[in-house]
Amino acid sequence: MKFVIKSESPKEYTIPEKLTTIEKINPDSAVKTRQFVFQGMGPNVNINGKQMDMDRIDEEVNLNDTEIWDISNDSGMGMMGGMAHPFHAHGVQFQILDRDGNPPPENETGWKDTLLVYPGEKVRAIATFNHSGIFMYHCHILEHEDAGMMGQFRVE
């Protein structure tokens, strides 16, 4: 890419002290907690012991409900040391509450539609489901989602 500057601008720009304010979702407002467990290796990868089935809805969510999703990574725990899985959900954005009970680092305090879950780790995330429809959640590693490490949830 090549940038060609034709003239100087007299206007100066400054970066504001604070870019935005993100209101935290109160965990007490959650009406339900769901578990999502990444498991398996190779062609046996799954979430909650199930591989993707287009004819199955795995989770039913009420429109406008706030829920906590506990996402844990039990896959590959053993001699191989395991693998991190990026959990991605369509149609919703989360706020990370904690990683193994510890507050998230600063770079994870904003809105997320994908969050990385390390081997043996549990990440708690909270969301309010404001869009109706059928959506997917899955590992965002292409080979894993192709092997069936995904599911569907309906919001209505």
**Tens-digit pLDDT profile for residues 72-129:** 999 765 545 688 999 999 999 999 999 999 999 999 999 999 999 999 999 999 999 9
- Out of 15-19, 85-89, 125-129, 139-143, pick the least confident: 15-19
Do residues 67 and 30 make contact, with C-beta atoms less than 8 angstroms apart? yes
Do residues 127 and 93 make contact, with C-beta atoms less than 8 angstroms apart? yes
**In the prediction, which pLDDT does 80 show?**
52
**In the prediction, which pLDDT does 9 show?**
80
**In the prediction, which pLDDT does 11 show?**
85
Vertex 42, ends 147 and 135: CA angle to 5°?
Answer: 30
User: Residue 45: pLDDT above 70?
Assistant: yes
Look over the chain and give the mean of its residue pLDDT values, rounded to a whole number.
Answer: 93
Do residues 151 and 50 make contact, with C-beta atoms less than 8 angstroms apart? yes
The DSSP bridge pattern shows strands 59-61 and 150-155 to be parallel
Do residues 149 and 45 make contact, with C-beta atoms less than 8 angstroms apart? yes
User: Residue 153: pLDDT above 90?
Assistant: yes
Q: Three-state SS string across the chain, please?
A: CCCCCCCCCCCCCCCCCCCCCCCCCCHHHCCEEEEEEEECCHHHCEECCECCCCCCCCEEECCCCEEEEEEEECCCCCCCCCCCEEEEECCCCEEEEEECCECCCHHHCCCECEEEECCCCEEEEEEECCCCEEEEEEECCHHHHHCCCEEEEEEC
**In the prediction, which pLDDT does 29 show?**
98
**In the prediction, which pLDDT does 133 show?**
98
| 42-56 mean pLDDT | 94
**In the prediction, which pLDDT does 51 show?**
96
**In the prediction, which pLDDT does 6 show?**
84
**In the prediction, which pLDDT does 7 show?**
83
